[in-house]
Structure 1
Amino acid sequence: MESLAVRPIGGYFPLTLVQGKEYYPELIRLNTSRNALEYILILKGYTKVYFPYYTCEVLLEPLIRLNIPYQFYKINPNLEPILDFEVGPTECLLYTNYFGLKDAVLKQLKATIGNLIIDNAQAFFSRPLPYSDTFYSCRKFFGVPDGAYLQINTDDRLILEKDHSADRVGHLTRSIDYGIEHSYADFITNELCLKDNDIKSMSLLTQALLRGINYKECRNKRIENFKYLNDQLFLVNELELFLPEGVAAMMYPLLLLKRDIRSKLIAKKIFVPTYWPNVLKWTGYKTYEHQLARYMVCLPVDHRYSLNDMEYIVNVIKKII
C-alpha cells in the first residue's frame, strides 16, 4: 500500500509543548504589533494619522515607511485624548489603551470617531470592540519572541509569508537556566531584530507557544496583584485611576511627581521600565506627557508573581518615599 505520510516519521523528539487554545484564534496572526498597524494603514489607505505624544516610537515605523503624514495630540490626566482637532474622512485617530485601563474610553471614541485605530498592545485581555480596527502585542504579556493579533474591519486581506522565530528565542530559553538578569542583553538583541521587519504571518513557533498558556490563570493573577497594589498605594498615587471590575492590566502605573524612584527600585531588583523614553525627546519639560515618561513607575503584576511579591514591592516603595 502506498504511504499517505506527508511528513517525516521517526527521528529525534522536537520540543514538547502543550497544545491548548489561543486566546484570539479568530483574529489575524502577525509577527509584530507595529506591522499590524501597517496592515491597517495599507488596506484602509489613510492620508493622515493623529498619533498620541505618549506612546512608543516604534509605531512610527510603518508611517515613515508608507510616507503617511502624522500629527501628535495630547492627553489629559485621565489618559484620554484632548480632541481639539477634527479627524477628516480620509484620516484616522490612533489611541493607546494605556495599561489596559481605558476600555470605557475606547467605547466613547468608537461612538464618535469613525476612523479609529485601537492600540491594545498594553491590553491583551481587553476583547476587541465589534467592527473596530484593533491590534495586540503578545510578547508584552507572555514569554514569546514576537507575535501580534489583529482585528480589521474589512474583508480584504494581504497575502503574507510565514515568519520564523527559532533564532529569536535565545533570551527565553537562556533565562530558564541563567535567569532574567543574565539574559537581558539577549532580550535587547531580540528587540532590535524586530525593527523594520516586513509584515509576515505569525511563526509556527510563536503560535505553538501561545497555545500552551493558561490564560485564565494569567488573567486572574494580574487582577489579584493589581488590586493589592492599588489598595496599598492609591493614597500616594498621583495618577487618576478609574478601575473597572475585573480588568487584567498590563502593569500598575504609579505616578509620584517630582520623585524619581525608578533607580532606587532597580537597585532593589524591582525592574521597572520607562514608558516611553522617546516621549522625553518629543515633549517639553512642563507637558503632562513628559511628566508621565519621567516619573511614572510601572510595577509588574503579571502571572510570575504572588501576593508576597506584591507585599515586598509595597514595602520597598514605602521605605523610599
Structure 2
Amino acid sequence: MKSIGGYLELQLLNGHEYYPTLLKLNTGRNALEYILKVKGYTSVYIPYFTCEVILEPLKKLGIQYQFYTIDDKMDPILDFKVGPAECILYTNYFGLKQDSILELSKQFQNLIIDNSQAFFSEPQENVDTFYSCRKFFGVPDGAYLHTTSKVKLKLEKDISIDRISHLVKSIDLGIENGYQDYLENNIMLSNNPIRKMSSLTQKLLSGTDYKECKYRRNSNFMYLHDFLLKYNDYTFDASSINGPMVYPFLHSSSLIKKKLLEKRIYVATYWPNVFDWTTKKMYENYLTAHLISLPIDHRYSHIDMKRIINVLKNLL
C-alpha cells in the first residue's frame, strides 16, 4: 500500500521513456547475457574493437567466442561462416553504422547488435538489440533489450541507490570530484545477476527530454564535422546522423588527446583492452591509440564546440 505523508522525496519530472515497450534490465552486459541464455548460442563472433565487459557474460555462461576484424569503415571483415548454434555480435560504432546493420541483418539470422553507443538508433524488428542507458544519460545503470525470443526470464528488480554518488557529486562538487566514485561504480556493476531496471533509473529516464538531447547531439556533431572533415582520417556518411554518442576524430598525432586533457576536455579511449587483444600491425590497435572521441552530448552548446575547435586548431 502506498504511503501518505512523511518528508518530501526527491522530485523528478514525470514523462515517458524512449523505449517503453522494450525489456528493462540493469546493465548492457546483462542484456547480452539475457539474449545468450534465451537463444542458447554455443559460440559468438565478437569484434576485436569492443569493450572487455562483453566477455563477462560469455565467461559466466561458458560460451566460446572468436574475434573478428573490422575494416577502415568499421564494418566487419566477413571471412568466416556463422553456424546454426552460433551468432555474430556487431557494435553500432558511435551510432553511425545503421546502414551496416541493415546489410548484416540480410546476411545473418543469428545477429546481435550492441547499441550501447547508439541509444537513438531504433532496433530492427528481427534483430536482437541491446542498449546501455548510462552511456548517454546521467543514470547509475540501466539497459533496454529488444529480442525476437518468446522466452521470458523471471527477474527480480535491481536497486541503484548505492550507485548514484558520482551523479550527485558532479552537481555539487564538479565532475572531477565525482570521478573516483564513477570508477567505483563501474566496479560495482561487474558480475551482477540479470535484474530488472531499478525504479530509480526508470524514474530518471522517464524525466529525460529526449527530443532536446538528440537535437543537441546532432547539432554539436555537425558543428565539429564542418571544421574537422578535412582533417579526419575516418570517413563516414554524416547525412543521416541520429543522436550519435561522440564525434569520432581519427588522426595520426599522438599529442592531441594529451593537449585536450590539459584543457579539461575529457576524451575517453575506446577501448584500452584492445591493446592486449591485438598487435600493433592491426587496424583495431591503431584505432584505440589514435581515435579521439570528442564529446558532443546534450550538456554542451556550440560555444563549447568552438572551444574544442580552438584547441585543435593549434595542433592540426
- TM-score bracket, shorter-length normalisation: over 0.9
Q: Does structure 1 residue 118 correspond to structure 2 residue 129?
A: no
CA distance in 2, matches of 1:67, 1:260: 41
Q: Which runs of 5+ in 1 are unaligned?
A: 1-5
Partner in structure 1 of residue 242 of structure 2: 247
Match runs of 1:1-321 below 5 Å = 6-321=1-316
Secondary structure of 2:169's match?
A: helix
Contact 2:96 2:241 in 1 (8 A): no
Deviation by residue 1:139-174 (Cα, 9 ceiling, x = unmatched): 000000000000000111000010000111101011
Offset at residue 258 of structure 1 (A): 4.2
Indicate conservation of the 8 Å contact 2:155/2:196, yes or no.
Answer: yes
Distance 1:278 1:260 in 2: 21
Identify which range, 310-319 or 251-260, moves more after superposition. Answer: 251-260
Cα distance, 1:248 vs. partner? 1.3
Which segments of 5 or more consecutive residues in structure 2 lack a partner in the other structure? none
Q: 2:257 & 2:94 partners in 1: Cα distance?
A: 18
**1:83 is matched by which residue type in structure 2?**
L
1:151-200 alpha-carbon deviations (Å, 9 max, x no partner) = 00011100001000011110101110000011100110111100111100
The answer (yes or no) to whether the contact 1:260–1:295 under 8 Å persists in 2 is no
Question: 1:3: which partner in 2?
Answer: none
How far 1:124 moved relative to its partner? 0.1
SS at match of 1:223: helix
For residues 31 and 47 of structure 1, the distance between their equivalents in structure 2, rounded to whole angstroms, comes to: 24
Letter in 2 for 1:106: I
Partners of 1:9 and 1:259 in 2: how far apart? Answer: 59
In structure 1, the residue corresponding to 2:273 is in which secondary structure? Answer: helix
Deviations 1:116-153 (A, max 9, x none): 00000000000001121000000000000000000000
Distance in 2, matches of 1:7 and 1:237, equals: 56
Give the whole-Å Cα distance in 1 for the aligned partners of 2:64 and 2:176. 40
Amino acid at match of 1:99: F
SS in 2 for 1:320: coil
Q: How many residues align?
A: 316
Partner amino acid for 2:169?
Answer: R
Structure 1 counterpart of 2:54, one-letter code? L
Inter-partner Cα distance in structure 2 for 1:84 and 1:75: 11
Distance (Å, rounded) in 2 between the aligned partners of 1:163 and 1:178 = 27
Name the TM-score, length of structure 1 as normaliser. 0.97
TM-score, length of structure 2 as denominator length: 0.99
What do you get for the CA RMSD once the two structures are aligned? Answer: 0.8
